[in-house]
């Protein structure tokens, strides 16, 4: 009489959980869920009000395991990611051309530099709302991957 794959997969999952492999796997899945939602929020704009021009901000959102796989951190590498999430002010600065000798504007204006007065950028959160929106899915995933294999008949062993 064959047992089938079900009990074997369950035993493998219990072994992985006991060996400490299940928690990092659960954290990776949780990081993917939140990072994916943050990328979706940047792409669609939605309530965040972000407009995608190059896709750099979206592409810079990823996750990283920390503390030996016990924690996951969702990271935004784009240097302007923080100011969009929390808002802020930029200082006055001079803008110079990078490649050419001058800057050209659509009105036929050509200059060698521009004095930018600075900007006040409103908060357009995309990362914190992503975590809030996916909190239930993250908890369910961690339970399923990490705690699920250790339960028998609904009772944790």
* Residue whose C-alpha is closest to residue 58's, from 47, 45, 70, 69: 45
CA 62 to the chain's CA centroid: 5
**Tokens representing residue 16 in the block:** 């992985």
What pLDDT digit, counting tens, does each position of 6-54 carry?
Answer: 777 777 777 666 667 778 888 999 999 999 999 999 886 666 677 788 8
Instruction: Look at residue 17 in the predicted model and tell me its pLDDT.
Output: 66
What pLDDT digit, counting tens, does each position of 63-107 carry?
Answer: 999 988 889 999 999 999 999 999 999 999 999 999 999 999 888
| Secondary structure (DSSP) of 38-98 | HHHHHHH-GGGT---SSSHHHHTEEEEEEGGGTEEEEEE-STTHHHHHH-EEPPPEEE--S
Domain boundaries, the chain: 5-87+125-150, 89-121
The model's pTM is 0.73
């Amino acid at each position: 009489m064959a047992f089938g794959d079900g009990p074997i997969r369950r035993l493998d999952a219990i072994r992985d959980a006991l060996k400490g492999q299940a928690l990092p796997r659960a954290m990776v899945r949780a990081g993917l869920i939140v990072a994916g939602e943050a990328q979706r929020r940047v792409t669609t704009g939605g309530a965040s009000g972000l407009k995608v021009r190059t896709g750099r901000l979206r592409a810079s959102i990823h996750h990283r395991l920390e503390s030996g796989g016990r924690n996951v951190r969702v990271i935004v590498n784009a240097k302007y990611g923080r100011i969009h999430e929390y808002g802020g002010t930029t200082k006055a600065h001079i803008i110079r051309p990078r490649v050419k000798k001058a800057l050209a504007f659509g009105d036929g204006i050509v200059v060698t530099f521009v004095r930018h007065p600075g900007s006040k950028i409103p908060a357009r959160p995309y990362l914190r709302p992503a975590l809030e929106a996916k909190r239930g899915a993250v908890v369910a995933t961690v339970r399923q991957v990490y705690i699920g294999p250790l339960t028998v008949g609904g009772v944790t062993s």
